[in-house]
Amino acid sequence: MGPLTRSFEERLDALALLALRVGVGFGAGERLRLGGPLEAAPLVRRITALAYDFGATYVDVRYADAEIELARALHAHGETLDHYPSEQADLAYLVAARGDAVIRVSGADPDLMSRADPTRVQRMTRAAGRANRRARELGMRSFMPWTIVPSATPAWARKVFPGETDAMERLWHEIFTATRATAEDPVAAWEAHADGLDARARRLSAAGLAALHLRGPGTDLRIALCEGHVWEGASATAESDGRRIVANIPTEEVFTAPHARRVDGVVRATKPLSYDGQLIDGFSLTFEDGAVVDASAERGQAVLDGLLETDAGARRLGEVALVPHSSPIARSGRLFFNTLFDENAACHLALGDAYLTSVRGGLERPREDLGADGLNRSLVHVDFMVGSSELDVDGVHGDGTVVAVMRGGEWEMGALVP
């Protein structure tokens, strides 16, 4: 095995280590639920072996085969598309509710479902969303330790590096760089990085902004923040046992919850969005009183319409996240067609469900009270990218004072107190 190969193996091990140690803080005597695409088997196997080295009681690996989902979308009789096996949802809830760690490996073909009828895909997605509501809610409050890590796969690599014979190697290179798997001590590098993001989040929380104002080409959007909002960085606390987790590797964002009924203006997406294996591109959303009242896409209009029609909360915002345009992933200049990457290369918003941890006391207070304070609720949570080198973000205080937060896509927080 030559030095290049050895280096690849070492980096794959580093990524597995990051997923377990930094991502979910995995320790002896724990169980792990691990999912990912078939084609991510090399990383899935590394994570499994390392989890057992760490003393895992059991690693339950569930591979997802996108071709199986596509086969259903293409072949199933129409009347069956709203069915989802409740026993699978019950199992997912059971393992989450007892606090098993959950790792998802991301790397699916970004437009696998492009051959399928969007309305059929939506029915499948909604049925799965409804069935998995309880498990998803545990994830949205980080009850159990969970994280998402990337793996290169041939279909994804072809999409990012079309026509290039070394597409897989190049995508792995981007992944290892973005996840800091190339660092001398990847865990230490992550702790320093997460500390930096967490400090920025604390500073933004302390500023107590009432709203943000986003301005850029095609974008002029005023986003009031949820009452009692809290900015979060890389780290979260797993409610089950209080451990520190990092739910996305990589992550470059700080984020909080918009007020679901106080968003007005227009926003233009700056990158395509892969949703359910279907691409939505060149799209703009117009908001009134928090709800999308107009949505137009150059590609994927039906997919976008279907997403917005999922439920009442799907037309409202559940997250606003700030990422500098100089983030390592953005510097690569690549479009990844994968939310885990693209959302960490650009400021983004999410349609749908808000994280309970985005507001003070969100885990303890009744959901109805949180809703009254503006926290959005939905079966979906779909991030879309709005950042660029031309995006300015103002912070607006309760008294109407405006302070710069980002200029030209970069942090400019000097005027923020403290």
Supply the minimum distance, in Å, between the C-beta of residue 394 and a copy of itself.
Answer: 49
Q: Is 76 in the site for a copy of itself (CB under 8 A)?
A: yes
- 45 vs 243, beta carbon nearer a copy of itself: 45
Q: Is 56 in the site for a copy of itself (CB under 8 A)?
A: yes
User: Number of residues in contact with a copy of itself, rule: CB under 8 A?
Assistant: 39
- Binds a copy of itself (CB under 8 A): choice among 80, 296, 326, 401: 80
For residues 332 and 164, give the distance between their C-alpha atoms in angstroms, rounded to a whole number: 17
Supply the minimum distance, in Å, between the C-beta of residue 285 and a copy of itself.
Answer: 34
Supply the minimum distance, in Å, between the C-beta of residue 382 and a copy of itself.
Answer: 24
Q: Considering only residues 26 through 55, tell me which ones interact with a copy of itself, judged by CB under 8 A.
A: 28-29, 31, 38, 41, 44-45, 48-50, 52-53, 55
Q: Is 97 in the site for a copy of itself (CB under 8 A)?
A: no
Cα dist. 84→90, 152, 265, 379 in Å? 11, 29, 37, 15
How many CB atoms are closer than 10 A to CB 47? 31
Amino acid letter, 40: A
Looking only at Cα atoms, what is the longest distance across the chain? 65
- 153 vs 251, beta carbon nearer a copy of itself: 153
Q: Which residue intervals of 81-219 are DSSP H helices?
A: 86-97, 118-131, 133-140, 154-160, 167-178, 186-207
Q: Considering only residues 281 through 320, tell me which ones interact with a copy of itself, judged by CB under 8 A.
A: none
- 91 vs 404, beta carbon nearer a copy of itself: 91
Q: Is 62 in the site for a copy of itself (CB under 8 A)?
A: yes
Nearest to 321 by CA among 390, 379, 381: 381
Q: Is 154 in the site for a copy of itself (CB under 8 A)?
A: no
Angle separating helix axes 301-308 and 118-131, nearest 10 degrees? 30
For residues 12 and 10, give the distance between their C-alpha atoms in angstroms, rounded to a whole number: 5
For residues 125 and 111, give the distance between their C-alpha atoms in angstroms, rounded to a whole number: 15
Supply the minimum distance, in Å, between the C-beta of residue 52 and a copy of itself.
Answer: 4
Task: Calculate ∠ Cα 160-164-169, nearest 5°.
Answer: 75
- 56 vs 356, beta carbon nearer a copy of itself: 56
Supply the minimum distance, in Å, between the C-beta of residue 279 and a copy of itself.
Answer: 23
Supply the minimum distance, in Å, between the C-beta of residue 32 and a copy of itself.
Answer: 11
Contact assessment for residue 339 and residue 113, using Cβ atoms and an 8 Å cutoff:
no
- Binds a copy of itself (CB under 8 A): choice among 77, 165, 242, 364: 77
- Binds a copy of itself (CB under 8 A): choice among 59, 140, 226, 292: 59
- Binds a copy of itself (CB under 8 A): choice among 6, 7, 71, 401: 71
- Binds a copy of itself (CB under 8 A): choice among 95, 144, 236, 246: 95
Roughly how many angstroms between the first and final C-alpha of the chain, as a whole number? Answer: 54
- 54 vs 161, beta carbon nearer a copy of itself: 54
Contact assessment for residue 241 and residue 25, using Cβ atoms and an 8 Å cutoff:
no
- Binds a copy of itself (CB under 8 A): choice among 8, 25, 27, 84: 84
Angle separating helix axes 86-97 and 133-140, nearest 10 degrees? 30
Supply the minimum distance, in Å, between the C-beta of residue 44 and a copy of itself.
Answer: 8
DSSP SS3 for 87: helix
Q: Is 91 in the site for a copy of itself (CB under 8 A)?
A: yes
Supply the minimum distance, in Å, between the C-beta of residue 38 and a copy of itself.
Answer: 6
Sheet of strand 348-352, all strands in order from the earlier edge strand to the far edge: 254-256, 317-322, 348-352, 381-385
- Which one of 89-97, 108-116, 153-161, 339-347 is the stretch in contact with a copy of itself (CB under 8 A)? 89-97
- Binds a copy of itself (CB under 8 A): choice among 6, 10, 94, 415: 94
Q: Is 242 in the site for a copy of itself (CB under 8 A)?
A: no
What residue ranges in 11-79 does DSSP mark as E strands? 31-37, 58-64
- 81 vs 246, beta carbon nearer a copy of itself: 81
**250 preceded by a cis bond (ω within 30 of 0):** yes
Q: Is 83 in the site for a copy of itself (CB under 8 A)?
A: yes
What residue ranges in 228-316 does DSSP mark as E strands? 235-237, 244-246, 254-256, 258-268, 273-275, 278-288, 291-299
Q: What is the binding site for a copy of itself (CB under 8 A)?
A: 28-29, 31, 38, 41, 44-45, 48-50, 52-53, 55-63, 65, 67-68, 71-72, 74-77, 80, 83-85, 87-88, 91, 94-95
